[in-house]
Structure 1
Amino acid sequence: MSSDLEFALRLADAADAITSARFRSLDLKVSRKPDRTPVTDADTAVEDAIRALLKESFPDDAVAGEERGGTVGAGRTWVLDPIDGTKNFLRGVPAWATLIALVTDGKPVVGVVSAPALGKRWWAAAGYGAFTDDGRKLSVSDVSSLDDAYLSTTHLGSWVEYHSREAYLRLVDACWENRAFGDFWQHCLVAEGVIDIAAEAIVNPWDVAPLQVLVEEAGGRFTDLSGVATFEGGSALSTNGHLHDAALSKLSR
């Protein structure tokens, strides 16, 4: 295990201590950001705690996070989503996670996804493989036809606003089954080989940076909806690799 991955796992431990204590708490404070998305006191507390640990151990590294800002540039940048799935978190739904990635020269090289309410954690490092907390090495499925594929997205409404509802429904109609596991979880399920495709019309870099390295190290493909292998493209498509080009074709506008 790389030292950077070990440190990222320590950051996840610190985040879990905060989020687990605040989940379903009666005094949770919730406000709205300018884009009308919710933010809780747990979101900001987690990001502040991780930033403090990074400043102590890696003072020269840049940090980009959902709540406190920052950009991904040259060199090393830690990309943080303190709580991915805040709407679930504030409603008491256990499908949420802290996302931590180390990006080097624009490429995610370490990724940790920690979902304590689900009792799950996933991690990966470039060249080391992808794993889950039971020690199992992850591998994507070998499904090779859309007719047999299991598909997930986050929210159908986002396809109307940001891409094309009709394009997404073409993919739905071509697949065997579809659900909306949403957010981080669906990409982790692709890496586990449990489902085959996860597609999102709109994402931010911190939503998917650790998921790119996780899916790729599990043997899959991760791109934006134009087919570029990047977490900064504003959209996301994770697949087992076999289905990627076919999925992109269905999603073209």
Structure 2
Amino acid sequence: MAPRYADDLSLAHVLADTADKISMDRFRALDLRVESKPDLTPVSDADQAVERALRATLGRTRPRDSVLGEEYGVSAAAAGPGHRQWVIDPIDGTKNYIRGVPIWATLIALMEGDQPVVGLVSAPALGRRWWAALGHGAFAGRHTAAATPIRVSGVRRIGDASFCYSSLHGWEETERLEPVLDLIRQSWRSRAYGDFYGYMLVAEGAVDIMVEPELSLWDVAALIPIVTEAGGVFTDLSGQPGPAGGSAVATNGKIHEEVLTRLS
């Protein structure tokens, strides 16, 4: 591993251990409190507790770094060129979480300027974790002692590809539903695994395409290093790499340009 990010990736695992304990203790709890945020998306007391705990740890261990979280915003000035910022989604897949569906995860990323350089996704209800650092490769397993390198697939045709999406509603709202439906019809298989999970399946080579039309920075920052270090390509719908575009197209790289063309 590049020594520059070894300590940061180790810290990300420590943060994930903390998050896993809190989120699993509240998963399927009868007294779980759920509220609606101003954008009408749900937030549980577990989302808030996880983010508070991770912010507290980062405040002690990385006091010079900025923190951006879904529930509590930016802890300091937003990261700029040469600056480091931790980006946290305490529970990605809150709707699954509050209904007892085990497909949810804590997303932890470190950004330098506008580039995610460390990414970790921990899905404790699935008993699985994925992580990567720039120049280090991508790995998956229950923990670092049981790590396995992961790699995207070698599929080269849409007709042989497994296509994944989160929901059709967002595509309808952005007036791109027909291109997505066409991809579904042309693909070998399609499934709506949703949220982080489709991207991790791309990184593992189990799925070849994952697309979403509207996303925030905390939704994607941790995913990008994992997909790209596994050999994949991650852009927005216009084909620009990085997390700033507000949309996502992740593929094994071999069919990326064709997917972008079809979605446009």
Answer whether TM exceeds 0.5 for this pair. Answer: yes
Match of 1:179 in 2: 191
Q: Distance in 2 between matches of 1:72 and 1:9?
A: 22
Match of 1:157 in 2: 169
Q: Distance in 2 between matches of 1:98 and 1:73?
A: 24
Percent of paired sites with the same residue: 54
Kept in 2: contact 1:64–1:72 (CA 8 A):
no
Match of 1:141 in 2: 153
User: After TM superposition, which residue ranges in structure 1, 4 or more long, deviate above 4 angstroms?
Assistant: none
Question: How does 1:68-217 map onto structure 2 within 5 Å?
Answer: 68-70=72-74, 71-74=78-81, 75-133=83-141, 134-217=146-229
1:53 corresponds to 2:57: yes
Deviation string 1:191-229 (CA, Å, 9 cap, x unpaired) is: 000010000011111011111000000000000011000
Moved more, 60-69 or 70-79: 70-79
Deviation string 1:127-172 (CA, Å, 9 cap, x unpaired) is: 0000001411010000000010000000111101124101211211
| Letter of the structure 2 residue corresponding to residue 5 of structure 1 | L
Change (3 A) 1:163 1:228: farther
1:123 alignment partner, SS class: strand
Match of 2:20 in 1: 16
TM-score by length of 1: 0.98
1:42 corresponds to 2:46: yes
Match of 1:219 in 2: 231
1:174 positional shift: 2.0
In structure 2, stretches of 5+ residues that fail to align are none
Q: What is the CA RMSD across the aligned residues, in angstroms?
A: 0.9
TM-score by length of 2: 0.94
Question: How does 1:227-242 map onto structure 2 within 5 Å?
Answer: 227-242=239-254
| Letter of the structure 2 residue corresponding to residue 130 of structure 1 | A
| Letter of the structure 1 residue corresponding to residue 234 of structure 2 | F
1:247 alignment partner, SS class: helix
Counterpart among 10, 18, 32 of residue 36 in structure 2: 32
2:253 alignment partner, SS class: coil
Q: Distance in 1 between matches of 2:175 and 2:101?
A: 27
Q: Distance in 1 between matches of 2:79 and 2:178?
A: 33
Q: Distance in 2 between matches of 1:110 and 1:170?
A: 34
1:202 alignment partner, SS class: coil
